[in-house]
Structures are given as C-alpha cells and as structure tokens.
Amino acid sequence: MVSDRWATRAGRSLAIVVAAAALTIAPVLPPDVAARSWGITGHGRGALTLLGPITFAEAARQGRAQWSVGGRGHRRLPAHRSTIQVPGKPPRADVVPQPPAIGSTTIAAPPAPQVTTEFDGLDEATAGFDPPDGWVTVNAAFVIQSVNGLVQISSRSGVPIQQAPTWAVFGIPLGQNDSDPRFLWDASHARWVGSLVSFDDTFTNNFIVLAVSETADPVGAWDRYVFADAPGELPDQPTIASSTTKIVIPANEFANGAIDYAGASILAIDWASIINGGALTGIWTADNSALWSIRPAQALSPSSDVHLIAEATGVGGFTAGDILYKRLTGTASATTTAGFLELATTHGPFFPMNPPRQAGNPSTVCSIYCDERPTDAVSRGSYLWLVSTSGCLDGAHHDADCVRAVGFNTGSAGTPTLAADLLIGEDAADLFMGGLTIAGDGTVFLAYSRSSASDFVSAKARVFTLAGGLGPEQGLADGDGTYDPGSNPGRWGDYLGVAADPSGTGAAWVGSEIPAADGTWRTVVTRLVVDSTPPTVTTPTVSIVTPSGLPASTVPVRIIWTGSDPGSGIERYLVSESRDGGATLEPAITIVGASTIVRTAQIGSHLRFVVVAIDAAGNTSSPAAGPIFTPTLYQQTTGTAYSTGWTTASSASFSGGSAKYARVAGKYVTFSFAGRSVAFLSYKSSTRGSVRIYVDGVYKKTVSLYSTTVRARQLVFSYGWAAYGSHKLKLVVVGTAGHPRVDVDGFAVLK
C-alpha cells in the first residue's frame, strides 16, 4: 500500500515536468538511451518514459550515498465500495472432501513441508516502512526479496549479494514516493520483472514503474519504464504477472486525492516489444468500478494466457463480494476489463475478516485495514489457485479468521470449474494473510500468519494435493513480541510472497513476516520441500587425471557420476572407497555442488568407489558402486611396438630410470593394453616438441611437450571408456622445428 516518503536525495540530477498527465523525466542518461513510444488508447493515461538501464550494483551505490528515510508513516487509502451482504459467516472446515484418485483405493494426506533452507530477511529497522508488503521470488541461482523501500538479492543459501533502495532500482525521482514493490522470475524469458507505484505528495501525478532485467543475473542491468496514470488518479496496489506473450499489471484506481475509488484498471505490455526494442505495444485500460483488487495469476508453466481473479464491488450486475474470473488471451493491446465471470464456490463470496488477535497490547494485529481481498493468484497447467483471508466461525462458533484457498480447473475455454475450496482455521486462533504457489509437481504450497489472544504472530505453512487433501501444519518462524504499529492504524502484510522453486518440482520459497521484539516487523526467508521420492545416481566412472604429475607409487584418478532428484534437488553426495576387496572405508567424503572428485590411487591396489545421493528432504539413493579397477604402470618397453629411429635414454628423472625418444617426424610407437582408462607418460622441457595421438586408429589430438620449466614424469594425455576392453594407443612424432624431441616414459592404465 502507498507509503509516505519525505526523503532528501542531494546530488540527483532528475527533474519532473508534468503536462497533460504525461511524465517527462530528464535525468542525465547515457547517450544511447532514448525515449520509446507507447501506444495509448484515449483513457488519459499511458504516456511512457524509458529511464534507461541501471545495474543493481549502481542502484545499491546510489542508495548508500544518497538515501535517507523518515519515520514509520504509511498512508492507507480507503476503499469506498458497496457493503458486502452475505447470510452469515462460514464455519471452518479443514478441507473440502476430495474424491480418490483414479485407480486408488486409499488417499494418503501429504506430509508437512520440510524446511531445508532458512535465513533472516529484511526488517523494518533496515527498510524503514510499515507494513512491509513483503515479496520473494527465486530462480536456480538467486533469491530476490522486496519490501517497501528496499530490495535485496541473496544467494539461495541466504548470503546477501546486493541491497538497494526501491527508488534507486526503479529510478524514482526526487519529489515522488513509491510503494508496493513486487518481483517475479519469468522462466520463459529468463528475466526478472518488477513493478511498483510512484506518486507525489498530493496524489496528483502518479505512475506505475516497470523494471525488467536484461539477463538472468539480477545483479546486472535493468531497464525501467515509467507509465503515467490519468490526471489525479492513483494506481494503488499494482500486482504483476507474466506469460509467454505479455506482462500484466492491474491496480485499484483512486481519485480526488486518493479518497474515492474509481475502479480497477489493467496495464498490459507485449513481451515482444520489450525484447525486440522499438515502440512498446500494449494498453492501459479505463477504470471498471465493478471490479476490486484484480489479481493476475503468474503463469508458472508456458502459456500465452493470463488468468485474472477479482472481487465484485456490487455494481455492474455482479453480487458484492463474489469471486470473478477472466482469461486474458491474445496480445496485450486486446486487454480489457470487460467479460469477467462469476465463479461458483463452496464457501460463497469473499467475506470480510476480523481483526486478528494477538498477545499483548495492542490486542489486535490489524485494527482497521485488514480485509478479504484476494492477496495472490497463480496458475500452472490447467489449474488456477487464489488465496484470501476470510472471517469465519471456529469450532465453538466464535468469530475467527481463516485462510481461504480456492482452486479451479481452467482446462476448457469456458467458465472454470471448482477443484477445491479450502477454509483453513484453528479453534481460538486466527489464520490470515496467506500466500500460495503451485510447485512443478502440482503440489499447492500455502503459507500464512497465525496468532491468538495468547500468542504472538507466527508464520506457518501447509501443502495441499487434489489426490491427498490438506497436509499437516509446519511452523516457519515465531514472533518475538507484540506487533505494535505505533501511531498508525494497525496493518499487516499487505501480502505474503510465496514462489515456486524452479530447482525442485516439490519445492517453494516463502518470505514470512513476524513481529520483532521491539514491536516492529522482521522477515524470514524459507525454502520448503515435500518430497518422499529418493534421488537416483548413476554408476560412477573412473579415469586418469591429465595433465598431472605421476608420483612414485600413485596415480591421480577422477571419479564422475550424475544424480537426479526432480522433487527437492540433490543436497549432497557421499563418496566412499573400498580397497583390495575390503569393506567400504568410513567416513565417506561429502561432496556438495559437484558430481566429480579426484583421488590418489595406489598403483597395484584393487579399488572401487561407491556414491550415494541425498536430496534436500533427506531421502537417500541406493548406493551406486563403480567398477573394481587396478592402477597399473607400464614402462616404455612393455606392450609397445616402435618404428625405427627411437633411442633409449637413461636418467633418474624417468620412471624406471629410462625412456625412449625420437626427433624425426613420422616416427611412431603403438601401445597395446586392456583396461578402462589410459594415460601417456612423458617429459616436458624447452627442447621437447609435439606428438599426435591416435586411439584405436582414430586421431584424438596433438599434445605439445614444450615447457620453459623442466617437468619429468608428466601424464600429458588420457582417454577412458565406460567398460573394460582391449585398445591401442599410437603416438606419432610431429617433428617440431627447433625442438622436435618426444619422450616415451611409460603408460598408466586403469585395468
């Protein structure tokens, strides 16, 4: 929700010129940055300014140099709409019964999600605003968390990488405030996308700002686009979703100094016009007073459509509070707010929530500004899910708050059909401000806040599957004290970020809000997994490591394998070694983030390596045992057939005290052996030349033996096979001008 920021940022060369509700920003831009055109549609809004790219690192630098933040003020905009009339509050139900899966005789409820990663996120002491409007999104390498006033990029393990104020990331100029930042990872385009609302102190000149990363690396460059709203209208709580063809940003529009509700609008931009450059194409629709809080569902699987959920205001022929739906098809320019449908549900319309109770003073978390609007929506495949907070009656028929999650099947082109309508509650407690996502395997991850008259606010999570129903609750984080909004009316949220993990089909990330000990808020970022399937690992292969030196009695060997775990991802491998047929040696070596290891193998010993994979949920694979092999060293006279022109040289530097060498181009030697890996042992110096290498009659590469530093007993080439077999290695002297000599000191074989 919109915030007050009275910040002085000295030294910023930005100026605002307002004319006919179009924003013209005149920063000092790079010479290659030019304004891009924007096709507006006659609604008095949509004028575009392209601010040009900024790296996140530069935004962080600007923030460190120039940002100052005032007190904890945060302006709430009233929503003037028809009163929702419903017969009575719905009772709590843990889950709407679901039929068993086809071919199944019993239904096993899914387990509670497991916490595999957890770290402290942003807090009010750092960001400076209340409420946080916290959000989180993730890709395979990074986590982005945003709150009002601040954005942080972290590694997936929680190591902070960069932190920058929202005004710097989005290019908000002096004299403008910003609020409601949201980010998402668009896997179809491998880019990050963010949005927020920008407004002046009188709510006269207001904008939606879009930021799009230029690559999958969020630390790199971001392009920023500023869209001017109609004169005097404020696009409050913009939310964002993306499909393969368009970006969609709906907002609640307020007029007359952000007092009167004018209706909901949708800003839509074609992805192709962002990726390809040139004029942006899209639309910013007129207001529709029949709609409240349109939530676009982020498309988590490839789709050109964007599904929309909204609450009916009670005008335009809809019943107040009803759940409305629309599917956006076609180009962004074809977007309208017309054509919403009322959806049938089990628990009826959105129902106003009660102020959630909490221990201490104040006794409620939200004194005024808590409501039933949908806080999020997501789609994957043929399913669409939304989440909201609903007033309900607990088991004793006392007023309470429940988290409501409703799923629909959108597989057909007509009206979606109800899949599940969950009203989740607890006796004598309040569950509120939920967020959800759909994991790659279809599991719905649902997170929310919990409090009661005797408990501080805590963060919880559960999962739901259509086949198994609702799983048990998992605690994420406990509050440290009573949430105290100070002189502000109580606020919480206004939403909760939950993101599907692209690195695990049964995993999701949550950015939970809980109260700090001093009454402010803090956040915790958590990775959750539901995964009962063990990982798999392939049989490890072994090969000789080159280039490398050969000690007197050992050979360096590389063990390579692959592992797979689509559910939660492999967390680590355990690699054990057995020697001479004995039991596996302990402790095993732990390998994280790699599927290879180099070990030293004793010449003449009989070795085997065994690999076990462990996933993030703790499931363990069956052991994968590699072949038994024996490192063997052959001198240059064993198994070899030389052409004429080779000479024997003796030296303590050579393996076995001697080697053969030749200087004339075309001279060759063939080494016949049986094994699964072979390496050529030679001598490198400034007088040595190059050698062509053939394996089983096929040319493989030319190796240079030249070195400014003398290096004896060097393994300079290796080759391997998946299975044991008979092979031939042929070496041919190139005859390098000025230093043609090639030495054959021996061969190492894994038999």
DSSP 377-441: EEEETTEEEEEEEEEEE-TTS-EEEEEEEEEEE--SSSSPEEEEEEEE--TT-EEEEEEEEE-TT
Measured CA to CA, the distance from residue 659 to residue 152 in angstroms comes to 61
Task: Calculate mean pLDDT across residues 525-546.
Answer: 96
Question: Residue 83 — very low, low, confident or very high, per pLDDT cuts 50/70/90?
Answer: very low
Taking alpha carbons only, the member of 515, 502, 537 closest to residue 626 is 537
User: Radius of gyration over alpha carbons of the chain, in Å?
Assistant: 33
Taking alpha carbons only, the member of 369, 710, 352, 316 closest to residue 549 is 710
In this predicted structure, what is the pLDDT of residue 491?
Answer: 78
Q: Identify the domain boundary among 503, 528, 558.
A: 503
* pLDDT tens-digit map of 654-695: 999 999 999 999 999 999 999 999 999 999 999 999 999 999
Report helix, strand or coil for 235.
strand
* pLDDT tens-digit map of 99-133: 323 233 344 678 999 999 999 999 999 998 888 99
> DSSP state, 358?
-
The average confidence (pLDDT) of the chain is 87
Return the number of other C-beta atoms located less than 10 Å from residue 704's C-beta.
14
C-alpha distances in Å from residue 40, one per residue of 37, 282, 284: 9, 8, 7
Query: Would you say residue 281 has pLDDT above 70?
Result: yes
In this predicted structure, what is the pLDDT of residue 586?
Answer: 64
Higher pLDDT, 131 or 743: 743
Q: How is 698-710 classified by DSSP, letter by letter?
A: EEEEEEE-B-SS-
In this predicted structure, what is the pLDDT of residue 486?
Answer: 78
Residue partners of 170: CB distance under 8 A and separation at least 6:
178, 181, 194, 196, 198, 209, 211, 224
What are the structure tokens assigned to 109, written together? Answer: 């409820």
| Number of domain units in the chain | 3
My answer on whether 712 and 687 are in the same domain is yes
In contact, 486 and 515? CB cutoff 8 Å: no
In this predicted structure, what is the pLDDT of residue 24?
Answer: 28
My answer on whether 604 and 638 are in the same domain is no
C-alpha distances in Å from residue 417, one per residue of 97, 346, 660: 16, 11, 81
Query: Would you say residue 225 has pLDDT above 90?
Result: yes
In contact, 324 and 414? CB cutoff 8 Å: no
My answer on whether 728 and 740 are in the same domain is yes
In this predicted structure, what is the pLDDT of residue 523?
Answer: 98
Q: Let me know if residue 515 belongs to a domain.
A: no
Task: Calculate mean pLDDT across residues 457-472.
Answer: 94
Higher pLDDT, 538 or 397: 538
Higher pLDDT, 42 or 125: 125
In contact, 263 and 287? CB cutoff 8 Å: yes
Task: Calculate mean pLDDT across residues 437-457.
Answer: 97
Task: Calculate mean pLDDT across residues 430-451.
Answer: 96
Question: Residue 514 — very low, low, confident or very high, per pLDDT cuts 50/70/90?
Answer: very high
Q: Let me know if residue 3 belongs to a domain.
A: no
Q: Identify the domain boundary among 599, 629, 659.
A: 629
My answer on whether 258 and 174 are in the same domain is yes
In this predicted structure, what is the pLDDT of residue 10?
Answer: 22
My answer on whether 620 and 656 are in the same domain is no
My answer on whether 185 and 264 are in the same domain is yes
Taking alpha carbons only, the member of 477, 474, 475, 387 closest to residue 435 is 387
For residue 455, give the CATH number of its domain.
2.120.10
Return the half-sphere exposure (C-beta side, CA atoms, 13 A cut-off) of residue 5: 32
Q: Let me know if residue 511 belongs to a domain.
A: no
My answer on whether 722 and 602 are in the same domain is no
Query: Would you say residue 16 has pLDDT above 50?
Result: no
* pLDDT tens-digit map of 332-347: 999 999 999 999 999 9
My answer on whether 215 and 113 are in the same domain is yes
What are the structure tokens assigned to 677, written together? Answer: 């890996």
My answer on whether 170 and 265 are in the same domain is yes
Higher pLDDT, 371 or 135: 135
Predicted TM-score of the model (pTM): 0.83
Q: Let me know if residue 717 belongs to a domain.
A: yes
Q: Identify the domain boundary among 629, 651, 684.
A: 629
Question: Residue 50 — very low, low, confident or very high, per pLDDT cuts 50/70/90?
Answer: confident
My answer on whether 127 and 200 are in the same domain is yes
Lowest mean pLDDT among 187-201, 228-242, 568-582: 568-582
Return the half-sphere exposure (C-beta side, CA atoms, 13 A cut-off) of residue 172: 35
In this predicted structure, what is the pLDDT of residue 489?
Answer: 66
Query: Would you say residue 328 has pLDDT above 80?
Result: yes
Query: Would you say residue 84 has pLDDT above 90?
Result: no
Query: Would you say residue 617 has pLDDT above 80?
Result: yes
In this predicted structure, what is the pLDDT of residue 654?
Answer: 96
Query: Would you say residue 553 has pLDDT above 80?
Result: yes
In this predicted structure, what is the pLDDT of residue 414?
Answer: 84
547 cis-preceded (ω within 30 degrees of 0): yes
Residue listed under structure tokens 């988590």: 300
In contact, 55 and 221? CB cutoff 8 Å: yes
Q: Let me know if residue 520 belongs to a domain.
A: no
**Burial of residue 367 (number of CB atoms within 10 Å: 0-12, 13-18, 19+):** middle
Q: How is 7-40 classified by DSSP, letter by letter?
A: ---TT----EEEETTEEEE-----TT-----B--
Quick one: how far is CA 293 from the chain centroid?
26
Higher pLDDT, 494 or 447: 447
* pLDDT tens-digit map of 295-306: 999 999 999 999
In this predicted structure, what is the pLDDT of residue 555?
Answer: 96
In this predicted structure, what is the pLDDT of residue 44?
Answer: 57
In this predicted structure, what is the pLDDT of residue 68?
Answer: 43
Task: Calculate mean pLDDT across residues 476-490.
Answer: 87
- What is the share, in percent, of the chain residues with pLDDT greater than 90? 76
In contact, 540 and 598? CB cutoff 8 Å: no
Task: Calculate mean pLDDT across residues 716-737.
Answer: 97
Q: Let me know if residue 28 belongs to a domain.
A: yes
Query: Would you say residue 38 has pLDDT above 60?
Result: no
In contact, 179 and 196? CB cutoff 8 Å: yes
Q: Let me know if residue 9 belongs to a domain.
A: no
Q: Let me know if residue 513 belongs to a domain.
A: no
Domain residue limits at 434: 16-503
In this predicted structure, what is the pLDDT of residue 89?
Answer: 52
My answer on whether 453 and 585 are in the same domain is no
Question: Residue 191 — very low, low, confident or very high, per pLDDT cuts 50/70/90?
Answer: very high
Higher pLDDT, 293 or 489: 293
My answer on whether 462 and 582 are in the same domain is no
For residue 734, give the CATH number of its domain.
2.60.120.260
Question: Residue 551 — very low, low, confident or very high, per pLDDT cuts 50/70/90?
Answer: confident
